[in-house]
Every structure is written in C-alpha cells, then in structure tokens.
Structure 1
C-alpha cells in the first residue's frame, strides 16, 4: 500500500514538471519554489589557508631619490690618543738685532751690608769712548752736602759717618756707606770742614779717593781752650764712573765734634762732564 502511494506521488511530480512550457518571449523559465525547494542546510566550515605562492619577478630599478633631511648631530666621541711627536723642522733665520732701549730709572738704594769695607781695588783701564746717550734722570747734574749731628771718635782708616744730607742731586752720596760714588764721569770739586773743642783729641781727617789719600785737614797741638775750632780743606778731582770718595781718620784715638748745629760737613759737586 505504501509503495503505491509513493509511486503515485512520483507520477504526479513528473507530470507537473513536464507540464511547464517555455515562455513565449524565449526567456528562461522561472523555477518553482512552491513545492520543490527543500529545507536549507547548515553553513559549511571555512577552508584552510592555501600554500604561499612563489616570489614574483624582480622589478626594474627605480629612479635615484633626492637628498634626505639633515639628521640631528650626534654626541661627541671620546678624545683620541695624542699623536706622535713630529720631526723638528729646520731652524729659522735669525732676525736682525733691534735698537737698544732707553736706560731705565735708577732703582732704590738697598740696605747697607754687614761687615767691614774691603781694600780698594786697582784703577781699571780707561774704556773706549762711546757715543753720548740721551739724558736720563741725572741730566748731567751731581751735587751733595752731608752733615754730622753728633761727635765721633775713631782710629786710623775709620770712615767718618754722617747722619743727614741737605742736598743729594743724583743720589750719588750714600748715607749708609758715607761714600760718594761717581756715576757721571767728569771733574768734581770736594770740600770738607771738621770741628774740635777743648776735650777732643786733635783730629786729622783725610779726603780719600779709592783708598788714595788726597788731602788732609788737621789742628796744631797748641790749639786749646773751650772755644770751638774748625779746619777746612778741599780738592778738584777727575773721576771715572765707579770711583768713590770719602773722609777717614788719619791717626788713632782721634775725635771730631758736631751736634745739631752741624759743625762737621762734607760736600761735592760736578764741575763739568768728560
């Protein structure tokens, strides 16, 4: 019975299909969706990725690009090691000697050294005559007057000491050594005055140039009494630069007198330059 039902359904289906004819305008027949479409199925799973394809052919070389933007400056690198010392070059030619400079100002006098004066040296030979230089601070002038302000006793060869200078143009008389030192060669005039009183030994005082006695001032033994007595002498001397002139006692146990009135004096000045 069931077989007959299925057979009948199949015959009806075939007839229904065969009864459909092509449309008159030649278009495709429309499928029948009223009874023949079955139920929708579930979606299938996605397929796996395929194998990677082969590398393509190498493209043609492109055009040269323009210069890129300037990059930021990098940090400074560490200092490199010192290079080896190079070979010395040839010594340059010595330049011509410049003109001599002007004589500088005279320096300050130093303190007197400790110790006794040594013996005077022999007179040196006269140097060659040089050209006259420009006038310095001396300006061709030299003159002094020194005073004793106290009495002094001494023996033969002891230098007379002076405490103050009234005039010392050129600073050629040194109050520390009590000697005049020639700085301007020329002819000079020197004069000195010594004083004694009744209680003084008879003084003999010599004017000395570099250890050579030039002239002397002295008193006779019969000069006595409470009155002050003075004796004066002098000489014209030709001096070279460095020559020294001073006063010294001419015998032992001698004494000269002086006080604030400055009775004992020593003076000298330049007459003319060589």
Structure 2
C-alpha cells in the first residue's frame, strides 16, 4: 500500500511540473552530439542492364563521340618525294620472248640478224622423150631438194619460207625446145625458145626472180611455138635441169 502511494505522488509531481513550466527557467533541448564513426559497407547491389553502344574517337588527348562522316575533300598538293627504299631481291628469269625485227645498220657497225631459213632445190629430167606440151615437166633425178617443198612427181615447187627467190633452167637437146617458168603468182608464163635445125646439141636457158609467199607455187612447163611435129617424135637424149633457191 505504501509503495503505491509513493508512486502516485511521483507521477503527479511530474505532471504538475510539465503543466506549469512555461518560462525560461524550464529545462531546454541539449546540443547535437558528435558524429559517430562510419558504418559498415552495405551489400553489393544487382548488376545493371547493358547500355547502348556509342561511337567514340580521340580528338587530341580527349575521348569524344564520333560524328557522321562528311563529304570527301579535294585532293591536296603532292608532297615531296620520299627517300628511296632498299633494293629488293632479284626475281626469277622471265620466259624467252619472240625474235624482234631485223636491225638497221648505222655507221660502220655490224648488225646481227636472226638466222634466215634456207630453201633450195635442183632437179633433172633425163627422159629422152620430148616434154609434153602444156603440162608440168616431170623430173626423174634429184641433185638437191627439200621433199616438203618440191614434189618430184609433179615437178612443182611449193614455197614454205616467204622471200625473194631465183629460178633458172637449162636444157640440152638436138631439136628445137620451148620451156617456160610458170607460177600461180604470174599473169603469164615466162617462155624461152631455141630453134635447132643443125642436129647438134644446143643449150636453152632462162631465169627469173620472184617474190613468193608461203603456199605459192612455181614449176617448169613446155609449150609449142617453133617445134615441128618431128621434134615431138624425137627419141634422142635430152636433158633439162631446173633450179631454185631463196635469195633473202
């Protein structure tokens, strides 16, 4: 009972003081205290979302955003020639080129020319019959010939090396003879005749210079101008030699 009495008196006193205290004599709020020490670090937060890519470039020493490329400017003046670089390694030899054209002689020096293809033939007809008129003179003996150029069966020379050629023939007979050099490059044959009524061996000869291209032909043929019918029936020895060679 006594304890409760004193508790009631204490509470009543406190209430009385709080009601009647309104002047400067009443107690005031205290000053702010000293800041406490730093607290512990909090837990790491969640990872943020990935941002949008940004174009960047260095301008001097600063990193800035890269803008849109502008139009291309005019070409500037050419700068000075730089220093010569070091000599590189030697390359592999190239393939051999085609022969060049013939050189031109200047002064007293000599000019080396490419080797010229050679072409020559010499054939003989020893048949004692008179060569048939209007046909190629068939030849039956070879002194010198290239089989790819001269056909012994037809008596026709076919050019394989273009150039200037010299053709000549000689015949020996006791009768009159008419022989001609003919070619598909000529408008008319080149004929030569020899009249012989002395019953002695007589020589007939002729020659011509022709410019031929590959594939053109030359041959020797007989024709009738001064012969008598008895000449064609003559069976005495007759010889015809036909020659040709490339000059240049």
TM-score of the aligned structures, taking structure 1 as reference length: 0.42
Query: Which structure's CA Rg is the greater one?
Result: 1
